[in-house]
Amino acid sequence: MEIRPSLASLVMLVACGAPEQKAVTQAVEGEEVPIPGMYRVHGATVDKATGEKRAIKGTVILAVEGSRYTATFHLNTNFPGPGADPVAAEVIGSGEGKVEGRTLTGTAHTQVVVAGMPGVDPNFAFIPRRVSTRLISDSVTTIARDGSVTIQTDSRGEPGEDYAPTRTTLRGERIATDPLEKTAGKTAQADGPRTAP
């Protein structure tokens, strides 16, 4: 009879996600969650000319050195396909810029990678992939004291690329610490166990 409550507790822990991922976004009262780390984000990309909207989600990894930051990201979205099915796409790239308080302002360079078959994940084994549009984006990222993040980017095609300008707004939370982050004492406790992205 005592086994059932234990099993129920275990199931609830698994369903709610790993404790380590929840711990990294929670700061000790009165302290700020550090900026470097991995963030899970979601939001929408809007075509500035037509207002057409598409969902986008994924991860962003931030590293900070002095007053500068670097970012790498891997996002997933869908583009209208030639038929009824949308074309799955990945948006991958990196960025850099300046840090002022908890606001990061900079530029990112990205590539859109699409599956060769409509409706299929471009990461799926043996599915042809092609690198499509190359983009340049101006971005502003704001990170709250609790580790929640808001990112806004205005994107356009690199010279020679055919791409209608868009604005993407992403929101999310810090889910892992930066593997190079130097933590000690209370800061380490606030971040929980060190987790490599």
End-to-end CA separation in angstroms for the chain: 40
How far apart are alpha carbons 197 and 192 in whole angstroms? 14
pTM given for the model: 0.70
Is 50 exceeded by the pLDDT of residue 51?
A: yes
pLDDT at 70 over 70: yes
Pairwise CA distance, residues 13 & 137, whole Å: 39
| CATH numbers and ranges of domains, the chain | 3-178 (2.40.160.20)
Apex 118 CA angle, 114 and 120, nearest 5: 75
- Confidence check: pLDDT of 65 > 80: yes
pLDDT tens across 136-192, in order? 999 999 999 999 999 999 999 999 888 899 999 999 999 998 655 444 333 333 444
Q: Which amino acid is it at 81?
A: G
Q: In the beta sheet, which residues pair with residue 63?
A: 70
Residue recorded with tokens 């971005």: 139
Longest dimension (CA), the chain: 69
Q: Which range has the worst mean pLDDT, 78-87, 111-120, 142-151, 154-163?
A: 111-120
Q: How many CB atoms lie within 10 A of CB 118?
A: 17
